[in-house]
Chain A
Amino acid sequence: MALARVLIVDDNHAMVEALSIVVGSKGHDTRVAYSGEEALDLIRAEMPDVVLLDLKMPGIDGIETLGRLRAMPGGAVVPVIVVTATDEDDLEQRVAAAGANGILRKPVDVADLTNRIAELTQ
């Protein structure tokens, strides 16, 4: 499995910490951001290999963050997995339309998460 630079974006600090631990335990290099704005700043400095993106955040939300990422130079091809507790009927379509590569529901199945990262970084 290729080791990747994984950017974790979530306004919940405990969620960021837990995701960092499990993703880091697989040998990946993790970066964290607690808002969409902070994530975009980090991405401008260094393009990650995968982004784990929460949807509901203060400031610009996950969908808006994803849209701005896709509009950046080189940002169109970065794999993005949306990690969310949101349970709306049309969520998968909205997330796919915004350009996400996948969606993971909270509570998170860690095996599923690490498999998705592996698939997207092969």
Chain B
Amino acid sequence: MASDPKPTILIVDDEKEYAKATSMLLQHSGYPAYVAHGAVEAMSLLRVITPRVILIDVMMPEVDGLTLLRHIGSKPEFLHTRLVVVSANGLAKNRAAAWLAGADAFLGKPYSFDQLHEIIEHVLGESSSSDSRLPQ
């Protein structure tokens, strides 16, 4: 019997090599993975796909990752989508800012294959038991 298909993941990162490598790692593990190199491209993709997980880089030109995160988080159609902030700057204040913006998890750059998998499994595990992105 065929197993359930793995959930779709969207990677939003203006660093094309990083996005490509992450996408390849996820696809190798069986996740359907899409890539957007900025917020505008991401929002275009999100008109046709509803990923279960979105990895969002913080430092992007034009629209930064946290602004994109808040925008996605405000849309009811993405209530069950888990949002992971990715940043090379893992200072406590940046992690706190990501959490306040509605992130479900934070992934520091550079990340290993294992760290990427761990965070994906972590947020997918939470998604079945929690509908609330932020505490009230």
Which residues of A are interface residues toward B (Cβ below 8 A)? 12, 14-15, 17-19, 21-22, 25, 56, 85-86, 106-110, 113
Q: Considering only CB atoms and an 8 Å cut-off, how many residues of chain B contact the other chain? A: 19
B134 touches A110 (CB 8 A): no
- List residues of B (95-136) whose CB comes within 8 Å of A's CBs: 95-97, 99-102, 133-136
Interface of B is mostly: helix
B135 touches A14 (CB 8 A): yes
Task: From the candidates A21, A107, A113, name the one contacting B134 in the complex (CB within 8 A).
Answer: A107
A25 touches B73 (CB 8 A): no
Which residues of B are interface residues toward A (Cβ below 8 A)? 66-67, 69-70, 73-74, 92-93, 95-97, 99-102, 133-136
Task: From the candidates B67, B74, B100, B136, name the one contacting A18 in the complex (CB within 8 A).
Answer: B100
Chain A residues within 8 Å of B100, by CB: 15, 18-19, 22, 106-108, 110, 113
- List 17 additional A-B contacts (Cβ < 8 Å) besides A21-B95, A109-B101: A12-B135, A12-B136, A15-B134, A17-B96, A18-B99, A21-B93, A22-B93, A22-B96, A22-B97, A22-B100, A25-B92, A85-B136, A106-B100, A106-B102, A107-B70, A107-B101, A109-B66
Chain A nearest Cβ from B66, distance in angstroms: 8
A56 touches B136 (CB 8 A): yes
Chain B nearest Cβ from A86, distance in angstroms: 8
CA distance A110 to B99 in the complex (A): 10
B102 touches A107 (CB 8 A): yes
CA distance A105 to B100 in the complex (A): 10
Name the residue on A nearest B132 (C-beta).
Answer: A85
Chain B residues within 8 Å of A85, by CB: 134, 136
Closest CB pairs A-B (n = 3): A107-B102, A25-B93, A21-B96
Chain B residues within 8 Å of A86, by CB: 136
CA distance A108 to B67 in the complex (A): 10
Chain A residues within 8 Å of B95, by CB: 21
Which of A17, A86, A107, A110 lies at the interface centre, i.e. has the most chain B CB atoms within 10 A of its CB? A107
A14 touches B99 (CB 8 A): yes
Chain A nearest Cβ from B76, distance in angstroms: 11
Task: From the candidates B92, B96, B133, name the one contacting A107 in the complex (CB within 8 A).
Answer: B133
